[in-house]
Each structure stands twice: as structure tokens, then as C-alpha cells.
């Protein structure tokens, strides 16, 4: 029986063929073998349609990136809802990233709030969405605000407003429009940017040319990367392709899985 010369171990063509196959299978394996990012989505509390938004967010992000989900939606719709999840000191263990989408603005217990922040400051990446920025805002401790990267105490009436891309060279913002006319949403007033906050997008108060507020940003909290946006009150905003693309890139960036061109690193995108 003749052996195809390409695969004869003693010939140069055989060695080249074997090398080519080895490279092909190595690259293919590397692309396919990335373990999904394990994301924990925490939602619930006051004022939002979390039943719908947890589905929109988790399915929308997983359609764009290699992410699997654990979702904790705690019952109750009060601003003073202190989530049971956080009473376990190891609540963030086993996850690659935490997506905070809770609304607990009246929770003030300092030890409780600092326990949440500590998980991120110890190294667990975070994505902070909308009312997570107003959660714990009345607490005497600054640890949550330092973790977020901004401080906000109130929002303007729900209405459309323009969002400007102020750092188009950042990987998260490379595919974001120069200006995005948002659906009717709540413009959170940013009263402070903490030292490690890097603003990426700003919104203009309608009718006030000099009143802008950071609405998209990244932050470093201790050992963790944090992506945040105050956008996302209503289902209309959360469902938009621009919004889901943005949050997906933010999540990948927080996990160091976004390349310099704003694309998922090998194994973390979806074909």
C-alpha cells in the first residue's frame, strides 16, 4: 500500500503537512476551548421591570459573548430591600463577573454595604447598571461609591436625551455612536467622579448646554475592573442593540476579554 507523500514522516512535505495540521488543530482547539465566563446577575428591588429585564440582559449578552448565567432575583419592590444573598460573606465565590442591577436606595447599614464592596475590591470584576448606582447612596460609608467610580444622588425626569461618546479610542466605545439619542430614560446626575473613574460617555441635560453628566465609565476598585452605566431604566432602552452591545463590551472589558479593537478575545465571542 502506498502512503500519501504529504504524510510520509521522512519527507519534507510530510513534515510541513504534519506541522500545518498541528497548527490548525491547536488554533481550532484554542478558539473552541475557552470556558464560558460565569456571570452572576443580581436584580430586584424598587421601581423597575426586573422580570423582563433579567431575560433581555442575560439572553442579549449571551447572544453576543461566551457567557453563562446565574440569576438572583430577590422578591420585594421596596427601596429598603437588603438582599439575603449578601449575608453570605462568600456570595461572589465561583463567578468571573458580577452584574449588579438591583435598586436598594434606602439600605444604609454600613457593615452590609461594605461587605458587598469588599468582594469587588478583593478582585471580582463588576458591571454596574442603572439603579445599582443609586443603591446604598444614603449609607454613611463611601466604599460602594468608590467601587462604582461615581456618586449620584438623584435623577432627572424620564425623557429622551443625547449621549455623547467622549472616549472613542477606548475598546468599549469604538463601536458606540459618536452621539446616541437615547429612548426616554432617567438621566442620573453625577455629582462626583472618584479618582480612578474614566468617563466614556456623557449626557447633556436637555435645554442646558453646560450641564453634562457622566453616564458611561470604567473604574478600578481595588483589584477589580468595573464597568458602569446609569442608562437602562426602561425596557425600551435595555432592549436596544446599541445598549446590549455596549453592556456586552463592558462586561468583556471588566473580565479582560475585550481586545484593543473592541472585539471579544479568542473564544469569548459568538459566531
* CATH at 61: 3.40.50.880
Please report the pLDDT score of residue 88 as a whole number: 94
For residue 30, being part of any structural domain is answered with no
User: What is the distance between the alpha carbons of residues 102 and 131, in angstroms, rounded to a whole number?
Assistant: 6
pLDDT for residue 23 is more than 60: no
Count of structural domains, the chain: 1
Nearest to 98 by CA among 134, 128, 126, 140: 126
Please report the pLDDT score of residue 271 as a whole number: 66
Q: What percent of the chain has pLDDT over 70?
A: 87
Confidence of residue 46 (pLDDT cuts 50, 70, 90): very high
Please report the pLDDT score of residue 32 as a whole number: 55
Average pLDDT over residues 57-66: 98
Q: Which residues pair with 217 in a beta bridge?
A: 199, 228
Please report the pLDDT score of residue 183 as a whole number: 85
pLDDT for residue 19 is more than 90: no
pLDDT for residue 261 is more than 60: yes
pLDDT for residue 217 is more than 60: yes
Question: Which comes out higher in pLDDT, residue 51 or 78?
Answer: 51
For residue 185, being part of any structural domain is answered with yes
Q: Give the residue carrying C-alpha cell 461566551.
A: 66
- Which range of residues forms the domain containing residue 230? 37-254
Read off the C-alpha cell for 63.
Answer: 447572544
Average pLDDT over residues 234-241: 96
Confidence of residue 229 (pLDDT cuts 50, 70, 90): very high
Most confident of 120-124, 180-184, 207-211: 120-124
Please report the pLDDT score of residue 215 as a whole number: 98
Read off the C-alpha cell for 100.
Answer: 449588579
For residue 181, being part of any structural domain is answered with yes
Task: Indicate the pairing of strand 198-204 with strand 212-221.
Answer: antiparallel
For residue 167, being part of any structural domain is answered with yes
pLDDT for residue 8 is more than 80: no
For residue 58, being part of any structural domain is answered with yes
User: What is the distance between the alpha carbons of residues 99 and 190, in angstroms, rounded to a whole number?
Assistant: 20
For residue 264, being part of any structural domain is answered with no
pLDDT for residue 163 is more than 80: yes
For residue 209, being part of any structural domain is answered with yes
User: What is the distance between the alpha carbons of residues 125 and 127, in angstroms, rounded to a whole number?
Assistant: 7
Q: What percent of the chain has pLDDT over 90?
A: 81
Q: Which residues contact 249 (CB under 8 A, 6 or more apart)?
A: 171, 172, 175, 258, 262
pLDDT for residue 209 is more than 90: no
Please report the pLDDT score of residue 10 as a whole number: 47
Please report the pLDDT score of residue 78 as a whole number: 80
Q: What is the mean pLDDT of the chain?
A: 89
The model's pTM: 0.87
For residue 5, being part of any structural domain is answered with no
Amino acid at each position: 500500500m502506498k502512503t500519501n507523500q504529504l504524510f510520509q514522516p521522512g519527507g519534507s512535505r510530510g513534515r510541513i503537512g504534519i506541522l500545518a495540521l498541528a497548527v490548525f488543530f491547536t488554533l481550532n482547539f484554542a478558539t473552541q476551548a475557552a470556558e464560558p465566563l460565569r456571570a452572576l446577575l443580581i436584580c430586584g428591588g424598587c421601581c423597575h421591570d426586573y422580570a423582563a429585564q433579567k431575560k433581555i440582559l442575560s439572553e442579549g449578552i449571551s447572544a453576543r459573548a461566551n457567557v453563562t448565567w446565574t440569576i438572583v432575583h430577590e422578591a420585594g419592590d421596596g427601596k429598603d430591600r437588603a438582599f439575603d444573598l449578601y449575608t453570605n460573606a462568600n456570595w461572589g465565590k465561583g463567578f468571573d463577573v458580577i452584574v449588579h442591577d438591583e435598586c436598594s436606595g434606602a439600605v444604609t447599614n454600613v457593615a452590609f454595604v461594605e461587605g458587598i464592596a469588599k468582594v469587588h475590591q478583593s478582585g471580582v470584576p463588576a458591571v454596574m447598571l442603572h439603579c445599582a448606582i443609586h443603591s446604598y447612596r444614603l449609607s454613611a460609608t463611601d466604599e460602594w461609591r468608590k467601587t462604582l467610580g461615581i456618586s449620584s444622588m438623584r435623577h432627572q425626569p424620564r425623557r429622551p436625551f443625547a449621549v455623547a461618546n467622549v472616549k472613542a479610542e477606548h475598546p468599549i466605545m469604538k463601536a458606540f455612536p459618536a452621539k446616541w439619542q437615547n429612548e426616554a430614560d432617567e438621566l442620573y446626575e453625577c455629582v462626583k467622579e472618584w479618582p480612578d473613574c474614566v468617563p466614556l460617555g456623557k449626557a447633556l441635560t436637555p435645554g442646558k448646554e453646560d450641564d453634562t453628566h457622566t453616564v458611561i465609565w470604567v473604574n478600578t476598585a481595588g483589584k477589580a475592573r468595573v464597568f458602569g452605566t446609569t442608562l437602562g431604566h426602561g425596557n425600551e432602552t435595555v432592549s436596544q442593540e446599541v445598549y446590549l452591545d455596549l453592556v456586552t463590551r463592558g462586561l468583556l472589558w471588566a473580565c479582560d476579554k475585550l481586545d484593543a479593537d473592541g472585539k471579544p478575545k479568542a473564544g469569548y465571542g459568538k459566531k
